[in-house]
A = this chain, B = another copy of it.
Amino acid sequence: MKPLRMAMIGAGRMGLAHARILAGRFECRVVRVVDTVAQNALRVAAEVGAEASTALEDAFKPDIDAVIITTPTPTHAEMVEAAAQAGKAIFVEKPIALSLEAGRRAVEAVEKSGVPCQVGFQRRYDPAYVRAKELIEAGALGRLEGIRLVGRDPHPPGLEFLKTSGGLLVDMGIHDLDSARFLLGEVSEVYAIGGALAEPHLAQHGLFDTAVATLRFENGAVGTLEVALRTAYGYDIRCEVLGEKGRLHIEQDLRPNLWRYDLQGGHFERPRNFEERFAEAYAAQMVAFARNLHAGRPLYPSVRDAWYSLRLAKAAQHALETGQVVRVSEYGEL
């Protein structure tokens, strides 16, 4: 089979990262890069040897097999709808929408058109999460009883982004909440508190930079979640799953695998950001997209799956903003 012809829609930080990975694969060619900011499109296009364009319709021309959508979150759903209508295979960044209604329309467009579609929850491709899932499914933990999730970014994004991102637990916490669903199953109830602890000025915009939550799962398990936008000691993503037979613990503290010892004790460096922590996962995710598409195999995770992670994130964000215990099922079903 010939290489798939791909178009990037969005040429920011994530678009560039995805394009670089795809550019090295024999299953595909990145042939076009579209961004409303010409400079962005040109820069990414030059790096991967593609054409640049500022016109969205160029991504949907007949010579294109698949699109990679990394535009700002508020536009994800409409981009997915347009790509589905154009019959293109889709990779779209998380979250798939800011509202459940927009997300629902995206799911319907994809499922009605039958185009393959994968959503960018890269942790599902991280070797540690994959291995944890395998061990859980093999019964290593027995009946599942709980989870502990920590997601902390080193620095908050800009205020303008924060105002339109859907909130702390939708934009960022959705990664951890998706892991909760991936590893333990559906959440039935969530309670959350938080504050603008690291960046007090966010409070005047009704924004939070820190949240902690309890999660109750449909199977009876209970868990905790902590999400923060600013972390004094850098990036910190952890996940523990508890079961009747033991515990799995995911953490990546060392980068590189080098310890330094002096009279003050032992010291090690750590991943500073998601690019360093999840480099392998980002590559594996995009390689899976190219390979599976090329081989005609199903893509994963699906847009339907992603809608349920959005639903949970919206419920958690609502809990955080209102101080109420929120039942997730009140947010409807697909």
- Identify the A interface with B (CB < 8 A): 23-26, 47-49, 126-128, 130-132, 135, 140-142, 145-146, 148, 150, 189, 191-195, 197-198, 210-216, 220-226, 228, 231-234, 236, 242-270, 323, 325
B257 near A250: Cβ-Cβ < 8 Å = yes
Residues of B within 8 A of A259 (CB): 248-249, 251
Complex: how many Å from CA A220 to CA B231? 16
B210 near A197: Cβ-Cβ < 8 Å = no
Residues of B within 8 A of A211 (CB): 222
B195 near A222: Cβ-Cβ < 8 Å = yes
Residues of B within 8 A of A261 (CB): 233-234, 236, 246-249, 270
Residues of B within 8 A of A141 (CB): 232
Q: Assuming A127-B256, A232-B246, A249-B261, is B216 touching A193 (CB within 8 A)?
A: yes
B212 near A223: Cβ-Cβ < 8 Å = yes
B222 near A232: Cβ-Cβ < 8 Å = no
Per CB-CB distance, the 7 closest pairs between chain A and chain B, nearest first, are A24-B24, A127-B256, A246-B262, A233-B261, A128-B256, A224-B224, A265-B269
Q: Assuming A212-B222, A213-B214, A267-B265, is B26 touching A25 (CB within 8 A)?
A: no
Complex: how many Å from CA A325 to CA B23? 53
Complex: how many Å from CA A191 to CA B197? 20
The 8 Å CB contact of A233, one of B47, B263, B323, is: B263
B226 near A148: Cβ-Cβ < 8 Å = yes
B146 near A212: Cβ-Cβ < 8 Å = yes
11 contacts between A and B (CB under 8 A): A146-B197, A189-B193, A191-B191, A191-B325, A193-B214, A236-B261, A247-B260, A249-B261, A250-B258, A253-B266, A266-B267
B248 near A260: Cβ-Cβ < 8 Å = yes
A79 to chain B, nearest CB (A): 27
Residues of B within 8 A of A222 (CB): 193-195, 197, 210-212
